[in-house]
Amino acid sequence: MPTAPLHTLDDGTALPALGLGTYPMDDAEAERAVAQAVAHGYRLVDSAANYRNEAGVGRGVLAAGVPREEIVVTTKLPGRDHGYEQTLRSFEQSRKRLGLDYVDLYLIHWPLPRVDAYVDSWRAMVKLREEGAVRSIGVSNFTAEHIDRLERETGVLPSVNQIEMHPLFPQAELRAALAAKGIAVESWSPLGRGSDLLEDRAVRAVARAHERTPAQVVLRWHVQSGAVPLPKSADPGRQRDNLAVFDFTLDEREMASIASHTPHRLGGDPRHHEEF
């Protein structure tokens, strides 16, 4: 089965150019969806402690029949566990639920600036990487200012920042700041969940021109924007379609038309959003 091309992160590890999102699947659905997706060629799977599906994701990875080292498994630290010792304990709980010896990519889910403990959590994640329990470490929903503080106070940059990104909220300024620091971008809600993005006239026109689905051209927009999209689907056909976006190219006019909207968030603002 075809697989996504690979990006090389700043720590030398490989990150597939497209992955499977699993929110809001439960354990049973995640187990089926992950095993099925791996069979279709997916090699990046995204979970989180707060998705409450780590056990299912882990079972799906182990049931897939693909060598463990070929699959990049991601999970995330919940806000209730911010702090140095709390992060170390939370990671062990996640690893136990996953049933895996190590985690490929561990992220701080949200910065929670009011709690103001994300720097201490980051120091704990650096320790986990140094010990080999985690291959790569990163953040999710961090602003450029949050990342500057991590660098200033610890000297260690995240390898990845997973952010809300889609043509309704392209995040061009943040992506440029991350690129300048060598930080890879993953996009959650890449298809604009809950919006009418896939019904957009410009998106549908581009899809017709390429004989593709609207979802495929939006995912291709992400790929050409340099981001790693994480579309969620448990449907076998859609999983296959979502991965089949590496054999065509959008031109500059098409890229611009897909993202020709007044930018607006669909999710929380990291400057004050709280997730526990």
Residue whose structure tokens are 């526990």: 276
Task: Measure CA of the first residue to CA of the last residue in the chain; give whole Å.
Answer: 38
3-state secondary structure of 261: coil
Comparing CA positions, the residue from 274, 267, 9, 227 lying closest to residue 118 is 274
Coil, strand, or helix at residue 204?
Answer: helix
CA 122 vs CA 45, 130, 182, 210, 268: distances in Å: 22, 12, 18, 43, 21
Question: Exposure string (b/e) for 220-230, b if CB count within 10 Å is 16 or more?
Answer: bbbbbbebbbb
- pLDDT of 65: 93
Q: Which of 42, 51, 106, 118 is catalytic?
A: 51
Number of residues that make up the chain = 276
Q: Any catalytic annotation for residue 42?
A: no
CA pair distance 16, 41, nearest whole angstrom = 11
Q: How far is CA 125 from CA 162, 170, 179, in A?
A: 16, 28, 22
* pLDDT tens, N- to C-terminus, the chain (276 residues): 789 999 999 999 999 999 999 999 999 999 999 999 999 999 999 999 999 999 999 999 999 999 999 999 999 999 999 999 999 999 999 999 999 999 999 999 999 999 999 999 999 999 999 999 999 999 999 999 999 999 999 999 999 999 999 999 999 999 999 999 999 999 999 999 999 999 999 999 999 999 999 999 999 999 999 999 999 999 999 999 999 999 999 999 999 999 999 999 999 999 999 999
Domains of the chain by range and CATH? 6-258 (3.20.20.100)
Question: Residue 9 has what pLDDT?
Answer: 98
Determine how many CB atoms are found less than 10 A away from the CB of residue 146. Answer: 21
- Predicted local distance difference test score (pLDDT) of residue 2: 81
Contacts of 129 (CB under 8 A, 6+ apart): 11, 106, 135, 136, 137
pLDDT digits (tens, 9 = 90+) for 40-69: 999 999 999 999 999 999 999 999 999 999
- Give the single-character DSSP code of 52: T
- Round to whole Å and give the CA distance between 42 and 254: 27
CB distance 176 to 150 below 8 Å: no
Strand, coil or helix: 77: strand
Q: How many whole angstroms from its chain centre is CA 158? A: 13
- 19 is written with which tokens? 């992955």
The one-letter code for the residue type at 252 is E
Looking at residue 118, what is its pLDDT? 98
Express each pLDDT in 150-196 by its tens digit: 999 999 999 999 999 999 999 999 999 999 999 999 999 999 999 99
Angle at 106 between CA 151 and CA 152, to 5 degrees: 5
